[in-house]
Amino acid sequence: MVDGNTSREQLLEIFRSVDTQTLITMALIFLIAYVLGRIITILLLKLSEKLSHTGRIKVEVVIPIIKFVIYLIAFYFIFREIFKIFGPEIFLLAGLLGAAIGFGLKDLFSDIVGGLVITFEKPYQIGDKISIGNYFGEVTDIGLRSTKLFTPDANVVTAPNSLIFKETVASANYGVSEMMVVIDLYIAGESHVETAMRILWEAVVSSKYVYISKERPVILLHKALPFYTRLRAKAYVNDLRDQFKFESDVHTRAWVEFQKNGIRAPQLHILNIPSIEEKYESEATTRRNMGSNAEGLKDSR
């Protein structure tokens, strides 16, 4: 029976027997896979930008699948080289790798598994607008370890793929180019609601960014609250990248018409708090009055 020290010595001896040429071969296989994945991703993304909205989504969907197939082929060749070196000792190596994953590499391993889940279960795809954890933006890339999001503030956020196991994912379009946009406008409670609803309706349906069909209708809602009224419009844009342009267009034109029709925004009822100077003068006057009263009391005695 082989004890633990003997096994470790055998494993170290095997590692020492690995020649430099084999290590270079494995590194080159991984490098070629990475470069090939990047080139294909860049070319397909450029191609997708030249297509229609629907065509763009279809092309972007296959990008992560192609990348993972490339990496799987690369890992196959790398493990084939490893098996040639270690032979039956591969099981001992697998045990040590399992321990390493359990302690030091568990996050990396979790990210890679998360990438596989995202690629094949598709909770979101490239081109989707998603919210995951504290992040929101358009998915521009799904890699082996992380997902890149392009935020509304033009920042590129790199979110680890393992978030898929910890956070709820909300996709605004889920693989299609159309996306619902919810627009809220708040008006004073005494405003004429019917007029405001008509103006909002016209602003939405006449926008050049709106997309209306039998399956994508425009919906208007209003809700009277204690100090104001909320108007809500639910409508679709044909391209999710028009979300903020659509919101801005509707807001601008609706408020111009609101002002023409005497509909105003809710007013804040702020308490009349005196300024610091007024407060100081008030306190000084009070002190003077108290002093006068005290002197009056002395004189009367």
Q: What is residue 210's predicted lDDT score, i.e. its pLDDT?
A: 94
Beta bridge partners of 228: 188
Cβ contacts of 32 within 8 Å, gap of 6 or more: 74
Task: Reply yes or no on whether the pLDDT at 199 is more than 90.
Answer: yes
| pLDDT tens by residue, 120-152 | 888 888 888 898 888 888 888 888 888 989 988
Domains in the chain, start-ordered, CATH in brackets? 4-86 (no CATH), 123-171 (2.30.30.60), 179-261 (3.30.70.100)
Task: Reply yes or no on whether the pLDDT at 183 is more than 60.
Answer: yes
| pLDDT tens by residue, 53-64 | 667 777 777 888
CA dihedral (254, 154, 127, 207) in degrees, to 10, reads: 20
To which residue do tokens 């009056």 refer?
296
Question: How far apart are alpha carbons 61 and 227 in whole angstroms?
Answer: 47
| 135-142 sheet: strands from edge to edge | 156-160, 146-150, 135-142, 129-132, 169-171
